[in-house]
Amino acid sequence: MKKFLRTVLLILCICVMCYSGFQLYKIYSGYAQANKTYASASEKFVKPNTQDHAKPDRETNPTEPKNVAPIQVDFDALLQENEDVVGWIYCPDTALNFPIIQGSDNDYYLRRMWNGEYNYSGCIFMDYRCDEKFADYNSIIYGHNMNNDGMFALLEDYLDQEYFEKHPVIYLLTPEADYKIDVMAAVLTDANSDLYDFPISRNGFDEFMEKVMAQSELSVQTDLQSVEHTVTLSTCAYEFQDARYLVVGSLKPLDRVKQ
């Protein structure tokens, strides 16, 4: 009987190991598929901006340098493949280079890539309650904190002052306009934080920014009165239950070079 029980236990252990191995294979093969899909999207729809940022625009103003994003996005082609695309987010010298999607809720794209295909990695998506043209006082964008450093894994790095100083600007491009996000704050908070609120008045927005700056891990000099719109980037953190990393930045319009 003891030998039989040991045999059964051994078989159960092997089954558990096989199941766990299969689940890990599914997760990491999903990571690989997501990496391939997003790399393909970047190659297909994004190209470097050949406009020299320091070179004056001779046609419109011979003395004022043009303030442009370092990339261009073919939104006409991108929207033909998914009409839920609302933008593209990019940070130089990092892995952040993804389309931004907005669904009818905050669940659909949680485990779907930008093309709608199911994948554990999900995609970068904007809160369904936000204006798709980023006209709100504060727009919230979500992404997973991936173990392979993909999606919004870099948000944790922004809690480090030195990392922030090397990457103070994130670019956000939309079908209508290009923007830069001047990072103002990096916060470790919880999923129920009032930093997820949507200010609907200037007074409410001022209060929101004061709370953000008070909780920030960074030392940043910002004239809050000059800030008109912000973008909040959000991802999961693991310091405590329901923890979140937030990076908040001032949204400022850029010039756009004709494609």
pLDDT at 258 over 90: no
Residue 57 to residue 200: CA distance in whole angstroms = 37
Beta bridge partners of 233: 141, 247
Residues facing 259 on adjacent strands:
none
- The letter for the amino acid at 182 is D
Q: Could you report the per-residue pLDDT of 151-164, keeping only the tens digit for each?
A: 899 999 999 999 99
The H or E element spanning position 57 is strand 56-57
Residue 148 banded pLDDT, cuts 50, 70, 90: confident
pLDDT per position as a tens digit, 72-126:
999 999 999 999 999 999 999 999 999 999 999 999 999 999 999 999 889 999 9
Residues 171, 178 contacting (CB under 8 angstroms): yes
Q: Are 171 and 248 in contact (CB under 8 A)?
A: no
Q: Name the band, by pLDDT with cuts 50, 70 and 90, for residue 44.
A: very high
